[in-house]
Amino acid sequence: MLNLENQRFVIMGVANKRSIGYGVAQVLDEAGAEVIFTYRKDRSKDALVKLLPDFKNNSQAKLIQCDVEDDAAVVKAFEEIGQSGQINGLYHSIAFADAEDLRGRFSDTSREGFLKAHSISSYSLVIAAREASKIMADNGSIVTTTYLGGEIAVQNYNVMGAAKASLESSVRYLALDLGAQGIRVNAISAGPIRTLSAKGVGGLNTILHEVEERAPLKRNVDIKDVGRTAAYLLTDLSSGVTGENIHVDAGYHIVR
Ligand code: NDP
């Protein structure tokens, strides 16, 4: 049984109990870690307030507002977190694209929509990693969440696929950059999970069905599947691993 007592982790991007970040929080909480949440919308804060009593060790968790489109807000959030001590890891679980850019023709993507998706879904990792690294204890770890659509063209994923490719490349460059400080940076490529964000992607039901039919494990993954791999990547269990992208997708990515 993993024991993460006296370890502190920041999770960015829990909107409700279906969020991948919530699965990560559950696994870390069960292992005895302290978890600090950042959120954007008040609606997410309200959902978190309702979820906190279910945690064994984090019923009083700190909730800090942080819109990642605002550089100053990111700097302030990590300064505030650092005032109560160092952190051991960061789980980044944030993405956004306008609904019209997640269906139809990719070539119709507007410049504005393209930049917005990349700013929130990819650049946010770069600035969060920079600020988190300032308050990180020795051997810290940063993990983000990506999708197969960043590696291959998946119908409808469109601008988010381009943003995930950028995110995955940023993982490698951050790993090279922050490795000198002993900080590891990795990604989890999660299979499709019915979350608020995923519902914005056209044809989600078809994708979920196809994974169930074709993935080696003949099922879809859930947020705790992702959470357990996140716990591995966030802790010394993965001490020699950095710049990696681990697929938590029931093996779907190996099948053609
Ligand atoms: P959720 O909708 O539950 O989580 C997305 C989170 O992104 C929300 O908490 C949202 O906060 C946050 N967010 C969006 N814009 C901003 C912003 N400007 N500033 C701060 N936070 C922001 O969906 P998921 O849990 O599915 O998504 C988490 C990650 O997992 C994303 O990167 C997604 O691409 C990735 N992923 C998801 C898969 C899936 O099938 N569900 C598969 C593979 C990867 P708020 O609501 O408060 O704005």
* Residue 164 annotated as binding site: yes
* Ligand 1 pocket, Cβ-based, cut-off 6 angstroms: 13-15, 19-21, 39-41, 44, 67-69, 93-96, 120, 145-147, 190, 192-193, 195-198
Asked if 184 and 240 count as a contact pair (C-beta separation under 8 A), the reply is no
User: Three-state DSSP class for 66?
Assistant: coil
Nearest by Cα to 189 from 238, 225, 139: 225
Q: CATH class for domain 8-254?
A: alpha beta
Cα–Cα distances (Å) from 236 to 33, 69, 117, 152, 228, in that order, read 14, 31, 32, 31, 14
pLDDT value of residue 61: 98
Q: Is 157 an active-site residue?
A: yes
Ligand 1 centroid distance, CA of 145 (Å):
9
Partnered with residue 87 across adjacent β-strands are: 136
How much is the pLDDT for 1? 83
Which residue positions in the chain have pLDDT lower than 50? none
93: CA distance to ligand 1 center in Å? 5
By 3-state DSSP, what share of the chain in percent is helix, strand and coil, each rounded to 5?
50, 15, 35
Query: Environment class of residue 99 by beta-carbon count within 10 Å: exposed (0-12), middle (13-18) or buried (19+)?
Result: exposed
**Which residue among 147, 173, 232, 252 is the active-site one?**
147
Distance 110 CA to ligand 1 centre (A): 21
Read off the pLDDT of residues 10-51 as tens digits, 9 standing for 90 and up.
999 999 999 999 999 999 999 999 999 999 999 999 999 999
ipTM of the complex: 0.99
